Amino acid sequence: MPSNGCWTCRDRKIRCDEGRPKCQKCAHSNRECRGYGLKLSWPGAKSKRSLIGNPSRGSTDSKSHGSIFLHTDFLDMEIHQYLSKSAGRQVHGESNRDLLSLNRPVTIHWKPFQLRNTEIDLLAYFESVASNTLATFNQTRSELCGLLFRLALLDTTSSSKCVLWSILALASLHKNGNQYQTMQLKLTAVALLKSSSTDGVDEAVAVRHIAAGMIMTTLEIHSNEDRDSQWTWFLCGSGRLMHRSLHILEALGSDGSMLHDWTSYYGSLTGFTLRHWRRMAPISTSVGSEMPDSRMVKPPPVCSPSTHKSMGLPENSHDFLKLIRDIFHGILRPSDAGYHDPAYAESLKDWEYRVKKYTVSYDKNTEKDRNSIRGWDDNFQLELFKLALLIYIERSARSSSGQSEKVTSYTQRGFAVLSQMNYCELPFPLFIIGSEAQSDEERTLILGLVRSGDANQSHPLSRLESMLQAIWAQNDLETNYELDYTMKLDTVMTSSPRLPCFA
């Protein structure tokens, strides 16, 4: 279950980003990441601190005492670690927030031992491996994993079961691939979603449906079915349900905020996808077929750009998500009415200013970071996202792929940041910054990051690689003319056999 970071970061007394298989803090400092498991030390018999082999304090006859065994659980060790920081003494004025965050596990009605062995194995695989595929924004993966487990194992209702079977399906996909077991688990989860809605969706059911829908979104994104865009159905269903259940999520406190930000993050970046997907006629190829195939499943009407825009984001959404939404929904094409209006030019300047000035501010009264992005513990990730947005604003404003001093400056800074990372899990910055790569060194760097992320199963970045190579090919062919930037993105993203996801 959730940890407080790898043992290397704990020993260094710094905050860990809890990356898998090793955290970025250790990777950036070239240190060995010693993992997240429970670590117990077994002192020798002659050690003064030994609990085994030594008599208790006050004992005069060591022969009358045997070995001492401790019956502890994970929380006991966490409390011990907390107390050992101050040797059991309360420091005046020091906050107890670390202690308050330690809660005994809630008793659940549906215990894992009631599941079959194969299902228990999949739960363990999800916790240790498959949960790393969850694209997080304002939460750590361990926190999100813990929340999903609580929702899945809360009781025996169909709404809890649909969360559980969604988890099992995602774990099976990453462990076994698109095999029969994965398909059966997925169909069971969908059937449970339907059956738990027959009598209406109350507050408890709504929360679990949002969670199950987001897990199914992740499953469909990672599926190897090239002609499958069903992730948009699950995402938009979760998004619409979230908008109808904001008061419920608010009442749930941190758990509700976690689901809210998780869903909103995907929804915000889907705005970029829908701006460029299928915005042009199918491309005729030399063999007389069409690319992409017009018979492929299109995004559902509920996810059309106009509908997606009308859904918007709630007022209590994270400020950075609001900024992303404003940019993707506000950028105009040269053919759009208002493209040449002075008001639109002012909007572009405002977005550029807001992106540049966005920082994490510290509130001394609450000792919390306002507008912090807890899923992005490393400043590199926020900087990359800001640079990608600035490049996209500048390119879209000029609607040109030609030379630009601003783009050159942003790109150079972006590659300077990327060169310090061992892997990157943010598809949007990788795509936008990577599209500007000109030299073999820059393209090799991008491909290395894409492939390392794909190898870690953090995101299906192999599809991103094919789109980047298509962009680079067009950039290399662009010698005597300047391509329209927006049309280039339209064409490359539309040529992808499935709806791309950049979350």
- Residue 246 and residue 165 share a domain: yes
- Residue 474 and residue 406 share a domain: yes
Distance, in Å, from the CA atom of 141 to the CA atom of 458, rounded to the nearest integer, reads: 11
- pLDDT confidence of residue 103: 46
* Contact yes or no for 401/488 (Cβ under 8 A): yes
- Residue 396 and residue 348 share a domain: yes
The residues with which 362 forms a beta bridge, in sequence order, are 369
Distance, in Å, from the CA atom of 310 to the CA atom of 331, rounded to the nearest integer, reads: 15
* Contact yes or no for 469/450 (Cβ under 8 A): no
- Residue 209 and residue 239 share a domain: yes
- Is residue 472 in a domain? yes
Among the candidates 317, 332, 363, a domain finishes at 317
- Residue 405 and residue 291 share a domain: no
DSSP assignment letter at 420? T
- Is residue 343 in a domain? yes
Distance, in Å, from the CA atom of 28 to the CA atom of 419, rounded to the nearest integer, reads: 11
Of 28, 36, 46, give the one whose Cα is nearest residue 6. Answer: 36
- Is residue 100 in a domain? no
3-state secondary structure of 162: helix
- Residue 296 and residue 327 share a domain: no
- Residue 204 and residue 351 share a domain: no
Note down pLDDT in tens along the chain; length 503 residues: 345 688 888 888 888 888 877 888 888 888 888 887 666 555 555 555 444 444 444 444 444 445 555 656 555 665 666 566 545 444 444 444 444 444 444 444 445 447 888 888 899 899 888 988 888 876 678 889 999 999 998 888 899 999 999 999 999 998 988 888 999 999 999 999 999 887 777 888 999 999 999 999 999 888 866 555 678 889 888 988 888 888 888 888 888 888 988 998 998 898 898 888 765 444 433 333 333 333 334 444 445 444 444 344 445 557 888 899 899 989 998 888 889 899 999 999 999 999 999 875 434 444 444 344 544 545 788 899 999 999 999 998 877 777 889 999 999 999 999 998 887 888 999 999 999 999 999 999 999 998 886 655 545 677 788 899 999 998 888 777 778 898 889 888 888 777 888 98
- Residue 473 and residue 380 share a domain: yes
- Is residue 230 in a domain? yes
DSSP collapsed to 3 states, 311-366: HCCCCCCCHHHHHHHHHHHHCCCCCCCCCCCHHHHHHHHHHHHHHHHCCCEEECCC
Among the candidates 317, 338, 353, a domain finishes at 317
- Is residue 76 in a domain? no
* Contact yes or no for 133/174 (Cβ under 8 A): yes
- Residue 336 and residue 309 share a domain: no
- Strands 283-284, 361-363: pairing is unpaired
- Residue 367 and residue 282 share a domain: no
Distance, in Å, from the CA atom of 168 to the CA atom of 151, rounded to the nearest integer, reads: 14
Q: The domain containing residue 160 runs over which residues?
A: 112-317
Overall domain count for the chain = 2
- Is residue 209 in a domain? yes
Backbone phi, then psi, for 91, in 5-degree steps? -85, 130
- pLDDT confidence of residue 106: 41
* Contact yes or no for 292/496 (Cβ under 8 A): yes
- Is residue 144 in a domain? yes
Among the candidates 289, 317, 345, a domain finishes at 317
List Cα–Cα distances, 232 to 116, 188, 250, 282, 311, in angstroms.
32, 19, 25, 21, 14
Is the bond leading into 292 cis (omega within 30 degrees of zero)?
A: yes
- Is residue 73 in a domain? no
- Residue 469 and residue 393 share a domain: yes
- pLDDT confidence of residue 480: 73
- Strands 283-284, 368-370: pairing is unpaired
- Residue 497 and residue 441 share a domain: yes
